[in-house]
Every structure is written in C-alpha cells, then in structure tokens.
Structure 1
Amino acid sequence: MQFKQAAQTEIEKNVHNAMTKLAADKTINIKLADLHVTKVKTIAVPNHKTACVIYVPCNEIATFKQDEHLVAALEKQIVGHQVHIVADRKIEHRTPKGYRAFCKTSVAVHANLLEDLVAPAYIAGKRIQYTAGQKLNKFLVAKVRKAEVENRVAVCSKVYEALTGIKNQIDFM
C-alpha cells in the first residue's frame, strides 16, 4: 500500500498499518501492495461512528471494489470508524474557450461520489424535493443489497453532505 504524499497524518498511518496487515492476510483477494491511497479524511457524524473516507486514484477504484469484504476488514482494523473507499475525482471549472469533459463536471463527480459511498449497492433513483425555498435531494438505493447497506445509509448521507454541501436523504426503493 503506497501513499501519494510523504508526510502522513495519524489516521493515514492507521489506514496504512491496516492495509499492510490485510495485504499479508490471504482472505482478501486483492493485491493491496500494488495499489495507492491519495488521502484519508475523517468526518464526525453526530450519534454515529466517525466516518473514515479513503481516497484512491480513479483508475484503481474498480480494483478496490472487486472484493466486497475489504471494507468490512478495514472496519475491524480501524476501530470506531465506518470506512468508505471513494475515487479521488476533481471538478474542472469552466474556461471561456476550453472544452470540459462531462466526467469532470460537478454533476458527474457528485453522482460518482454517491455511487462510491453506497457501494456495494447502487442508486436506483433520484428525486428533488422543493419545500419553502429549501431543496432536498432524495436518493433511492435498490433493495437488492439492503441488508448489507442498511446500517451505513445514515452515515453515507452525512458524509455526502459534508463533502458536497448538498442536503440529501437516502432511502430504499
């Protein structure tokens, strides 16, 4: 497991130690030694566990999602944190003459961030509710993986709001 930056915070050291322990373990089907972590961020969620958001490069997110047991194993190693692995995507702002790919827009980056947060489930629908000048995004997660994701949904909603600034509610379809 390799970090992109030399100086590491305390939580990044904990994640690094947990990943090296899991790399030696044979239950994880991914070669963690070849993968990278860009940064780690902690988000305090009231009345729930602290969320630990692990950012990985965009081209390696599919590799991290191959083994569904990786997040559960990381949560056992990093006690007191709910772990989320997301891709480190950047929003590219408009330029007067330049072309901007859709995957670099804020809409696409926020949609992909939400998909990463609720993994292994997927977003099946989206509604926007306007009440008294307030805007609330309602995201509907498919019931296929409800048992696995049900206890993580409240924290996912708060993490998404902290990272994007968008008020939201995540329900099951």
Structure 2
Amino acid sequence: MKCMFLKKNCPWPLFSSLFLFSMRWCSQVDVSGTRKAVVIHVPYRLRKAFRKIHVRLVRELEKKFSGKDVIFIATRRIVRPPKKGSAVQRPRSRTLTSVHEAMLEDIVLPAEIVGKRIRYRLDGSKIIKIFLDPKERNNTEYKLETFAAVYRKLSGKDVVFEYPITEA
C-alpha cells in the first residue's frame, strides 16, 4: 500500500496538516477474517505535533478506508546491548523494552494505559493484560481486537486489552 494514496485521499482541511508529516511507510495487518488494519509509521520527531490532529485524522481516514482501522505509530530505533568492555552506553529509550512500551502507547493513543499485568502460564508462555482508561471506552472498545493484532505483528508478544472493573 502506498503512502501517497493516503495523501491523495485525505480531506482538504487536514491535508495541510498531513503534508507536514512525511510518513515513513505503511503496512496492512489482518485482524480477523474480514477486518484489516492500516498501520502508518510517522517520524519520531513529529510525534508531539502529530498528536494534536490524531483523532480527526484517524476518523477521516477510517471513512476513506471503509472497514479498516487506522493506527499511527512513531518510528523508533532499537539498539543492541553494548559489547563487554565497551565504553559506549546505550540510551534507555533505545532498549527493546522501552521501544515496545512506547509502541503500545502509540497503538492505543486516544486512550491511556492505566494498568498492566503479566500472566505466566505453566508452559512458560506469557500473556500481557493491558487495562485501558474507561473514559475512552466509547472510542476504543470496537478496536481492542485490532490493537492486539497490530501489537502482536509488530512485537511478537501476545497481549489482551481490557477495561478495569470499577467498583460501584
């Protein structure tokens, strides 16, 4: 899928904002049998400016791509651990764990992550449970399966998205 297709089909008011963002690349992820998601990678330096128009842009692009969810992710770099005896230290923001955590926050962007649990099974596999903010439930509830599929495709980790049970 070409990123230029996105710029051509974007509504005119958002085009001026979108033109500032040189998209790195786009990919398509199969969520289920009929549903697909479009993952758009944007430069890391533009992530703060991009968050201002994120909600409107996703809404408009989901209208254009009927039946597909649109997710934006900032491009980040993972640096391998330094060799023994090396004087160079790796920044914490370039570790695998840090990049995967930041990617998770980008995927669920309209909502915020309020909790996280890791469940270890007897066979050694892990399932990560992510609890999202209930305030954004109306905007994100239909995308929970998409969030899990995109994160599994990008990081290789199994994750389940839920909303915390509030006591009344």
Q: What TM-score bracket applies, with the shorter chain setting the length? A: 0.7 to 0.9
Structure 2 CA distance for partners of 1:48 and 1:112, relative to 1, 3 Å: farther
1:1-150 aligned at under 5 Å gives the runs 10-18=1-9, 21-22=10-11, 24-25=12-13, 28=14, 31-67=17-53, 68-96=55-83, 97=86, 98-132=88-122, 133-150=124-141
The alpha carbon displacement at 1:52 in A equals 0.5
2:146 corresponds to 1:159: no
Residue 170 of structure 1: aligned partner: 161
Structure 2 CA distance for partners of 1:147 and 1:48, relative to 1, 3 Å: farther
Question: How big is each residue's C-alpha offset from its partner over 1:105-161, in whole Å with a ceiling of 9 and x where there is no partner?
Answer: 111111111111111101111100011222111111111111101011111011101
TM-score by length of 1: 0.85
| Unmatched 5+ stretches in structure 1 | 1-9
CA RMSD across the alignment: 1.6
Distance 1:62 1:79 in 2: 27
State how many pairs are aligned.
159
Helix, strand or coil at the partner of 1:15 = helix
Q: Identity rate of aligned residues, in percent?
A: 26
Distance 1:57 1:77 in 2: 23
Distance 1:12 1:29 in 2: 13
Distance 1:106 1:115 in 2: 14
Q: Which runs of 4+ in 1 moved over 6 A?
A: none
The alpha carbon displacement at 1:29 in A equals 9.4
TM-score by length of 2: 0.88
